[in-house]
Amino acid sequence: MEHIGDHIKKRDSRARSKETERGELMLYFKSKLNRSRAEDGLPLLDMARIGKILEGIPTKDLYYLKNVCDDAKNFSKKFWWEVKPENHKKDTESPF
């Protein structure tokens, strides 16, 4: 009698990777932000915190955020300004 495991097709670990486009961007932001946070003596960000910060931003907008922050003089300062929703609200008191 043969073992049932001999008849089950084994999964190739390389075929199913958990790496995603969004995850790569999150790692990029994490490394850039943690570099400046370490210099300032602030606690480092982990992936869970980066995920929470970026959860409402679509992946295509993360590419825009990356380009804007890369072009800025201070990456970290520009990042925190851009992810703050109050900085992007339009004037709601306009009569038009």
What is the helix (H) or strand (E) element at residue 62, kind and residue range? helix 59-71
Q: What is the pLDDT of residue 15?
A: 54
Higher pLDDT, 60 or 8: 60
Q: What Rg do the C-alpha atoms of the chain give, in angstroms?
A: 21
Opening angle at CA 74, ends 70 and 79, nearest 5:
65
pLDDT, residue 13, reads: 54
State the pLDDT confidence band at 46, using cuts at 50, 70 and 90.
very high
Residue 95 has pLDDT above 60, yes or no: no
